Structures are given as structure tokens and as C-alpha cells.
Chain A
Amino acid sequence: MTLRDAAKKIFFLEILKGLALTFRTMINRPVTRRYPKVKREPFMGFRGRHAFVRDPGTGREKCVACLKCSIVCPSQCIRIEYKETEERRVLEKYEIEALRCVFCGYCAEVCPVCALVLTEVYEYADYTREQFLFDRERLLKNWDDFSSGLKTGAYFNKFWRLSGIDINRMPVGKRLQQSVQVKQKEFLSKESFDKGRAA
């Protein structure tokens, strides 16, 4: 054994090198983020809570009960009931069991009229299981909650028209889909806010 190796063995040189690295980290800026005080915005296209897009014309959902989302869902968590009239199908019941869902995004991707989105909302924990059975009204309410929190007035979800996919492969509804205009929360003056709170 050389003198160098003997010195390394006696004076714990490699352990000191490791300790030096650890102590140097104390001086550096921390890489952690203090959630929930500091939050990061999820990237566009993050697969979060489901919502039904409100059609700006009718004010209701755009779903045409084609059942494609229900067929393609890997966890079979979408249940649909509809009624057939001469011209079209009328949606009666639409339920998503969010606790069964694996958030793969296939339902939003396959919908030919871009009626369903997976919004970027990920903080929606609740106390009971019943709150997670999203029916039509709840899905529309999810959309209202999400769109009122948006910073811009127009929203276009990534999964409506995925980049790189040939546009001729997509159904007509997806080819023509434009950004959805959302109504943002109007700026409330202090008096109207207090009045609203008192009511």
C-alpha cells in the first residue's frame, strides 16, 4: 500500500469529500418549493379533473351521445343513457366515476365534438365518495369553476387537436374546433363584494 492509500485510510479522505459536498449544499439555493404557499402552474395539457365544455351558443353541453368515450375508456368509468329522436340523439344521463378513472385522456381525445376536457385542476380533494360521481350538472359546474379561474379569455385544450397528428385523420368536429371563449370573473368593487358576502 502506498503512502497515499495509507493516508486515505487513516484520515477518512473519501468520507470527508462526501461531507464537503453535503455541507456545500447548505449554502446553495434550495431546489424545493414550499407547497402550498408556492405553487407551480401545471403545463398546458395536464390531465386533471373532467369538465363538460359549455357551448357558447346554447349554454349547455355539446355532447351528442355518440358513446365513443364510453367505449374507449380503459377503466369503463363513463355511463351514458340517451334517447333517440328522428334527427338526433338526446343525452339523458352522463356519469363519470372519477375514482375509477385513470386519467389517460382517451375520452377527451376521441370525442368528435370536443365536448369533454380534462382540465388542469388537480386540487379537488373531498370528504365523501359521492362527491366524485360527476354527473352532467357537476361536469358543467367543473367547467365554470375552471374557466372562471383562467387568466386568458380563450381556452384551447391540447387534446382537442394534438400537434403532429395529420388533420385529415380527425373527425370534422375536431378539425373545425376553435378556442372556446370563456367568461371571466368580473372585477367586484368592495361594496358589492361585502353585500354579496352578507347575503
Chain B
Amino acid sequence: MAAVDHAHGHEHGHDGHGHHPTGLMRWVTTTNHKDIGSMYLWFSFAMFMVGGAMSLVIRAELFQPGLQVVSPAFYNQMITLHALIMVFGAIMPAFVGFANWMIPLQIGAPDMAFARMNNWSFWILPVAGSMLVGSMFVPGGASGTGWTLYPPLSIQMGMGMDMAIFGVHLLGMSSIMGSINIITTILNLRAPGMTLMKMPMFCWTWLITAYLLIAVMPVLAGAVTMLLTDRHFGTTFFDAAGGGDPVLFQHIFWFFGHPEVYIIALPAFGVISEVIPAFSRKPIFGYTSMVYAIASIAIISFFVWAHHMYTTGIPLTGQLYFMYATMLIAVPTGVKVFNWVATMWRGELTFETPMLFALGFLFLFTLGGFSGLVLSVTAVDIMLQDTYYVVAHFHYVMVAGAVFSAYAGAYYWLPKWTGHMYDETLGKAHFWLTLFFFNLTFFVQHFLGLAGMPRRIPDYALQFAEFNKLSSIGAFGLGLSQLLFLYVVIKCIKGGKKAEANVWGAPGLEWTVPSPAPYHTFEEPPVVK
């Protein structure tokens, strides 16, 4: 509550600062970017646990051949909700949480540009999350279509599907409002002297991500609205009998879906670009080329969507084009990896928990990038499409990419948020457990995919049994290890060694304010030289 006391100190100086409600209403009505950032992060972790529990239901069923735990219909609901909750409920809000907390601190702004809209964009999330989770309990259960919601299967589903559609609409609204806020904040509220090209990399990645979100969330909203009208109002957008085409949905979905991959990956790159220089005690290598690389990745991501659809029957020329365009993404992605390596080269390296997670990210994300390159080649992809190889690939990108990066960021900024140092031993234990169990869970899935095991099946042939058993053991280990993180965070909030203003000796405006960051910061803009 130190932050609140600080605010009271200003009671008479400024209008409103001291009059915010306390207790629950403080959180419901808050327009403070730090409060909202914290709420985003807690919400994200809660959803991470819910989505994680669902993945354990999946892995429990796949522990051995045969049907033991759930029915095939419920299994399909689990894979759908697991993905929707993890993508929209856990990963995206986690990085919005970082953005809320850190962007104003990094650019020297007193708050986000639209403080009330900020409150609104957060409070939509729990409603949308409840829609998704609640859809399990309506007649017919949740949508059993996979997160891709392909028609005509999604036309057959019960009202759980409609709840998923409205949930997606709400999540989209929240993301768009959040993005408008971030863009406006970055473009208008930077401290005097902070030009765009002096901005921390994390702000750059979010600026570009926010544009991606504004461009593609309406596309997803359009796609699911067309599903809704096909389901209930007699339109036939996706029904050949009425002149429509089921594959049209896939084109629209993946026009959203591929940039979505980078909406998740870019802020993760941003966090890594903060952590690696800090623990190398050296400025980031190739700042300008990093900015250009992010921008090119974002632009190319709009033109590669049909590589998710190589087996739908697009013509040869189309397949060739999408193959070449997709391979091209490897170039800017490679530039980023090389720049990170060059940043560490001849640095003064130490390996605290944030750095360990950043290195884990670099190692595993690169592996995920390589399996992505393999999948970009159409002739190979046709063999691997819809197998566990793809499942392994995107978990290397999403979990080892986004989640590892989120952990790197959380450990990096926890002292700034709480004013205490986290328990370094436990943090390191969390890292090594996560690294080991992550690979046990997902590395073996490459082999399952190569051996031909299709994804999204509740039961499998006997030759897939051994690797599935290993993967399930890994998944339970991975899940349990995350409880350790919760413990570390709570311990850090409650106490611990007092954190200095600049705990890591890193450059950046966020390290010029005390730890914990006071409730109001940069009421007078700092001057950046």
C-alpha cells in the first residue's frame, strides 16, 4: 500500500489524485496504468492456469491408447478452449499488462493517453473469459471445432459456439481499444527529447503490434460474424449449396491468424531486447536494423496466410507464391537472432533468472523458427500438415517464444513493481524445471508428427504410445512447475530484500523512478538527451 500512501501525499496539490476509492472499488474504477497493468497480468496468469488445466485433461487422455478419461466430444471442446483461452486470455493480456505498466514508465509519460478507456478495455476481458469458460456448461457444451472454428463443423455446434463467437467479439473490442491507447500514448506522450529512434525496443515492438491488432481484429470479427449469420440467419457465406465456400472462412481466418502469430511474438521480442542488453551490460546491437526487422516481419505477415492451407487445394501457382513469401520471413527473423547474439558478444554476462529465460527463449524460439522454415516448404508441409509436428512447432513458438519471454519480463520488472527482490534460487529452479519439462512435453511431439500422428485426436494407434507417454509426463511436470512461479511472485510481493531504483544497472527511464514505482510517476516529464 506504499503506492497509495504516496498518492495521498499529493492530495492537495492536484485534483482527484487522493480521492480514488479503496478496496474492491479501487480496482473496478481505477484509471491508473499501473493498477490496470497489474490486473491484466493477474487475469492473464489466472487464464494461464485455466488453459493449462485443460491441456492436462488433453494429456491425461493421451497418456495411453484407448479412451480413459473423457469422451471424444469433450476432448474436442478441451482442445478448442485450451487454444482460445491461451491465445486470447493468457498470452495477449500478459503482454498488454507489460505494455500498461512499462510503456508510460519507459517513455516518461504520466499515464496512458486514454485512462478511462484503459479501464474499459481491461474490464471487458473477464466478461469475455467467462463467456469462453461458461460455454462448457451450456447444453451441447463448448465449441468442439478447434480454435480455428472451421465451418461447416462450426455450423453444426450448439450454443457454446455462439458464446465463443461473442467472446471473440469482446476480446477483439478490448484489443482494439488497448491498441488505440498504446499507439496514441507512444506517438503523443513521449518525454521531450525522446525521438522515435531513441525509444526502448519494447515500445517499438508494441507500437507495431498495436497497428497489427487494429488491422486484423476486425477481420476476425467479420469472419465470426459471418459464421453467426450462417448459423442463425440463413446466409450461406460458407455453404456451397447457397453459392458460398467453406474455404473462404479459412482465407479470412488466416488473414487474421497469421499476423496474430506476430501479435504474440513481437512484444515477446521486445521484452527479450530489453533483457539481453541489460545482462550483457552493453547496448543492443543494430538498434536500427532491429526496428526495420520488426517492421518487415509485420508487413510480410499479411501476405503469407495461405501457408496454413496448403492441403485445402489451392492451385500450384498459389502454393508456390505462398511458399516463397513464407520463406522470406526467415530473413528478418534471422537478423533479430543474430543481433541478440551480437549484443551478448564481448559483453559482461551474468545469468540471473530473467537472462536465463531470455536465453531459453532464444534457443527454443530458434528451434521453432527452423521447424517453421521446414513447414514453409509446401511439399514437406503436405506430409506434416495437421500432424503433431505442427503442434510441436507452434508450441515452440508460443510457449518457448511468448511464455518464456513473459517470464523473462516478469522477473526483470518484478523488483520495480513490488519494491522487493524475488527469490533468485527459486526463480532459477522455476527456469530449469520449465525448460526441462517443456522439452520433454514438446520435443518428442516432433517425432510423433514425423511418424504420422494426426493432431486433434483423442485416441491413437499403438506405435505412437511411447512418445505420448513421455509427452504427458512432461506436461504434468510443466504444469506443476508453474505453481512455483505463483509462489515466487506472492513471496516477492509480501517481502524480500529491498530493491534499489536501478536493480540491474540498466539504462532506461523506468529505472530512474524508485522501486516500487510510486502510484504516480513522471507528472513532470523528464528530459531525454
Q: Decide whether A and B assemble into one complex.
A: no
Which residues of B pack against A, CB within 8 Å? none
A contacts, CB < 8 Å to B? none
